[in-house]
Amino acid sequence: MAAALRCLLAVYPRAPVCRQFATTSDVVSAINPAAWASLPSPSLLSAEHPHQVRNLLSGKWVDAADSRPIVDPLDGASVFMHVPVTGRDAELEPFIDNIKTVPRHGLHNPLRNVKRYRMLGEVSARAGAALDDPEVADYFATLIQRVMPKSKAQALGEVKVTQDFLSNFSSDNVRFLAKGFSVAGDHDGQTSHGMRWPYGGVAIVGPFNFPLEIPTLQLMGALYMGNRPTLKVSSNVSVVMEQMIRLLHYVGLPPEDVDMIHCSGHSMGELLERAQPKMTQFTGSSGTAELLTKTLEGRIRVEDAGFDWKVLGPDVPTTDGSVAYVAGVCDQDAYACSGQKCSAQSILIAHVNWLETDLLEMMKSRAAQRSLDDLTVGPVLSHTTENLLEHVTKLLKLPGSHLLFGGKELDPNTHNVPACYGAIEPTAVFVPLQSILSSADATRLCTKEIFGPMQVVTSFKDGELNDVLTLLASMDAKLTAAVVSSDPHFLHDVLSQTENGTTYAGLRARTTGAPQNHWFGPAGDPRAAGIGSPGAILSTWSCHREIIHDALLSENDQPPPIS
């Protein structure tokens, strides 16, 4: 790995701001977080050594007048970080000014400052190489676990997707990303050129559940297309992006290209209302997305909440292990990251044929193996235990419903999760399909997104597919979905009458997973923001501009007639 990073840093021409590496040992030190991180080791996060997170403004790391303590989500007592509370007018003003003063044509575009495409490709190459190093990957995975507790495998998966994304857009791939097209005109000398054009000053509001992957992919997509972003990530986890941006600076990103602000949601709303960025990308709750849409007069791209469904078709596989495989995927989809994924399986709709197998018992057995010890289940950062169990109680009041498993707080003797967070066992509640559809209130209750380790399970019989489709159509969030079947007619019927933006189909179908190799985002909404793929970047972070060149005028050309 050291040799690979040495090659990247030595061969690529560097932007003037890129750190110069004088010796071999100096190059190798780039792998060591101590060379670029303001928090050299996540293990240092403690009450004895709390970390002070800082804002990034105009290329400099700065403090705010006030800060708030962040409590360790696992012990419930230790203040292990302090995060700026940027909120006074004098503190917001320079961030607002920086958004307003970005040129409307961006920091670069296909006609101006084109060397920046190559520069950003080089930054991506170096950053991807750094994240591919086991020491750096472990640094970020451990830091993610400290602030958004999830299993090591889940945290490393987040780092891997980020690394792959950065590697995908190495070298010339940023300029290839921005390619356009030309079309012959009506006469000699006329051609039209379609170009991908930046917005200029933009904003990104990132969530807490994927503190590295989602903000990094959106941040880099915005930069690739020529925008200058102002980034805000949920304060509880924003230390992760603080350190990632420091790494990006170290491998050559001009420090002035990005601002990062830590503040309350109210202050960020004020900043956006006053600055009116040309485009804001928001990942988070549907309610906040609707408020921002009004505040920003529609200049917004949204990847909002997802009440995500999985339908198991009537053709149950008979091969050995197939039911166990599907049960395992159902468990991962519903309970990995303690269900705190916008793509988490929220409702499982199984044909009754599946209920004649051991599917539900296998899911129950796997869920019982999840433990706070290895963070395969952990704190729910957006709900309290009381809130979560209250929702279970409401579901169990519906006719014919019953608890499949879970429905209890994690053993209070085994955890110190703060009372402001949730701590419950992985939970599944069976509700008959006709009970779900019995009234608008029942449907709303059963399709309410609960960002935690909880799912509704229901079943359908032959002849009830239209009822299933009615239920699917009633759901507002159209993010991910899965159709588990090998029957082409069943797949066609479901896929052709639904609209979720990222939909898996087939026996391996899942709801979770936002890899870098395909679009991840909602559908059915003109505000839909994508992530990961070239198409997602183009759709989210650039607009179409057409320039028509009409250059040749001959002596025989006459003025157009008056009409």
Catalytically annotated residue among 242, 303, 425, 449? 303
- Say what the pLDDT of residue 304 is: 78
CA–CA distance from 534 to each of 59, 204, 299, 313 (Å)?
28, 18, 21, 33
Catalytically annotated residue among 263, 330, 337, 342? 342
Closest CA to 88 of 117, 64, 72: 64
Which residues, including other chains, have CB under 8 Å from residue 312's CB and lie 6 or more apart? 326, 348, 349, 350, 351, 354, 359, 484, 485
> What does the alpha-carbon distance between residue 433 and residue 429 come to, in Å, rounded to a whole number?
12
Identify the helix (H) or strand (E) that includes residue 540: helix 534-541
CATH number given to 56-305+533-543: 3.40.605.10
Instruction: Report the predicted TM-score, pTM, of the whole model to 2 decimal places.
Output: 0.91
Q: Where are the domains of the chain?
A: 56-305+533-543, 308-505
303 is catalytic: yes
- Say what the pLDDT of residue 176 is: 95
- Say what the pLDDT of residue 272 is: 95
- Say what the pLDDT of residue 398 is: 98
Judge if 56-305+533-543 and 308-505 fold alike in CATH terms. no
The domain made up of 308-505 has a fold known as Aldehyde Dehydrogenase; Chain A, domain 2 (3.40.309)
Instruction: Report mean pLDDT in 10-residue bins for the chain, 563 residues.
Output: 46 38 42 86 89 97 94 87 90 96 97 97 96 95 95 95 96 94 93 97 94 97 98 96 97 97 94 96 88 93 88 92 96 94 94 96 96 91 92 97 96 84 94 97 94 96 97 90 97 96 95 86 91 94 96 88 93
- Say what the pLDDT of residue 30 is: 54
Q: Helix (H) and strand (E) counts for the chain? A: 20, 20
Which residues, including other chains, have CB under 8 Å from residue 408's CB and lie 6 or more apart? 389, 424, 425
- Say what the pLDDT of residue 363 is: 97
290 is catalytic: no
